[in-house]
Amino acid sequence: MSKSIKLLRRQIDRIDVNIIKLLNARAQIAMKLGRAKSAAGRNLYDPVREVKILANAKRKSRGPFPPEGVVSVFREIISATRSLEGAVEVAYLGPEGSNTHLAALKHFGSSVRFFPQPSVEDVFNAVEEKKHSFGVVAVENSLEGAVAQTLDLFIESSVTICAEVNMEIAHSFLSREKSVDKVRRVYSHPQAIAQCRPWLRKNVPWAALRESESTSSAALRASKEKGSAAIASPMSARLYGLRILAERIEENKDNMTRFLVIGRTLPGITERSKTSLLLSIKDKPGALFRALRPIARYGVNMKKIESRPIKGKAWEYMFFIDLDGHASEPVLSRAIKEVEKECLMLKVLGSYPSADVP
């Protein structure tokens, strides 16, 4: 080994020692912070603070280290030091390896306690009944649109949206079998099946398509059945001992899913907040126009509107609306109050940091 390589490695070793010292110094302060939060009755998880840390880390990364890599490193540092402050428990649609699990890992890091749930409804219940601090649920996909079950559960639930996570979705074809020729059944979540239908028609047109609660539950089932396959994540292949017979089988590679972090608190204002509303209006001409008019008048940007039928009331609808800004900011607050005057019911589902930062 050349002297120059030895010298460079010694320099890296010295830097690593300093990194470890700084991490431990940060951890010591984090433990004191955790005790102070507990004494003040504050939550251990502060999405606004964490977004600021990650955004600053990304902005200040001007060297050769990739900015996205800096964000990933800092997310795990935050996760590890947060765990020293106290336990944060997160429910998600399981089992392990689901896209919701991956979104939860992306947002919270690996140093929290994750609790898989058999259904999206169970995730809501776990948070509402205070079994776990937070939950992660999918709300919309860039190809298939809104996740109806999630929207419906918000109608009756008292949970609050605390944060959002945008994640690229990549589907793999997994099986115990060595080739697709042996596959007779394919399991997956309905949206995953829809996103991969052209590939399925071309490569396994003879296979029966079976819907499952999540992509990871599909992988678990495929691991137990001869002649079965699943559309799921590569992580599921590792977890359940399956072969990856094909990768990136989704029709459109620009496949993003938006997830929401639900809890019981309202985060503070960030540089870029987003507010979600749920409202119902009178069934008469121009009612929706009159309800939304204050949003335009106050110059508030409406990011999204989605309608869902009200159960038990034929042809009556609830509307889900996403707006730029925080509900406590003066302009948006006034706009919401005026919108409410035109509604039968209006509920602020949450104001939270936009996933666009960082």
Looking up residue 221, the CATH number of its domain turns out to be 3.40.190.10
> 298 and 324, same structural domain?
yes
CATH of the domain at 348: 3.30.70.260
Q: What is the CATH number of the domain that holds 73?
A: 1.20.59.10
- Which residues lie below 8 Å from residue 5, measured CB to CB, with a gap of 6+? none
Q: Which of 85, 110, 140 is the last residue of a domain?
A: 85
pLDDT of residue 164: 93
Residue 259 pairs in a beta bridge with 138, 165
pLDDT digits (tens, 9 = 90+) for 329-338: 999 999 999 9
Strands (E) across 118-218 are located at: 134-141, 145-146, 160-168, 172-175, 185-188, 208-211
- The answer on 204 and 154 residing in a single domain is no
Residues 164 and 195 in one domain: no
> Is residue 61 located within the same domain as residue 106?
no
Query: Is 70 exceeded by the pLDDT of residue 314?
Result: no
Question: Which is more confident, 350 or 271?
Answer: 350
DSSP single-letter state for residue 126: H
293 lies in which domain range?
A: 267-353
The pLDDT, as a whole number, for residue 312 is 67
**pLDDT for position 358:** 38
Tell whether 30 is covered by a domain.
yes
Q: Is a pLDDT exceeding 80 seen at residue 183?
A: yes
Angle between helices 67-85 and 47-59 (to 10 degrees): 150
Of 262, 296, 316, the position where a domain reaches its end is 262
- Summary mean pLDDT of the chain: 88
358 within some domain: no
Q: How many domains would you assign to the chain?
A: 4
250-270: per-residue pLDDT in tens? 887 778 899 999 998 888 888
* pLDDT over threshold 70, residue 339: yes
Under the banding of pLDDT at 50, 70 and 90, the label for residue 315 is: low
Torsion sign (Cα): 56, 59, 61, 67: positive
Could you give the residue numbers annotated as active site? 257, 259
Q: Are strands 89-93 and 134-141 parallel, antiparallel or unpaired?
A: parallel
Out of 262, 290, 325, a domain closes at 262
